[in-house]
Copies of this chain bind each other. A is one copy, B any other.
């Protein structure tokens, strides 16, 4: 099968809290497989759970490894999340290209993240297939571990079918006949109110009104409400006449 979710590999993470935050970031976008390489304070870490805010399933399933090489032994496409390294000649991709490649592969893919303070060591980066770099403000690059995880997890999920689709509109636009009804009613009310003068401007004014009312793509229900509003204004007027 293709497009399996990537494994998130935290290499020598320092704080348990950050492991928990990374788990939370992952689960938001449907990633559940975490691997830990030699976490500084051992594993399990009591600080991880509270920071995971309920993403316990990720922490409970986290697998522990002594070396990065072991952690990615079964993966065929591995990305090192880091800035470009002058000491290594490796392909550098952006998050979107990473996500595309992951979807196209039939093997397992993984993303390596380094320790909070120092980032990935050269030896770890060298084990990867590519470097993935999030393009950030060149004058202020300050992503923490969980933020780097969430951005790459988000990018992966953008193309995923499992992600909840966002409906564009709750209600479809009304049929054109309904719109014509609204336009006709407003023009009628305006004619009664002597709005259309001078006569030579009438057709331009009518065109403007049509444009204004066509643009919104209102639903049937919205058009009904507007017709009620126009009726209220004009009926009220007539009753006072």
Contacts and interface: CB of A to CB of B under 8 A. Distances in A.
A191 to B, nearest CB: 10
Contacts of A122: none
Range of interface residues on A (Cβ < 8 Å): 35 or more
Contact of A151 (B151, B169, B170, B195): B151
Identical copies of this chain, number: 2
A205 to B, nearest CB: 8
A177 interface: no
Nearest to A93: B166
B135 A167 contact: no
Interface stretch (A26-34, A39-47, A61-69, A109-117): A26-34
Given A27-B140, A136-B163, A151-B151, 13 more contacts: A24-B142, A54-B140, A89-B219, A135-B164, A150-B150, A151-B154, A192-B236, A193-B237, A195-B232, A195-B233, A212-B218, A216-B216, A237-B237
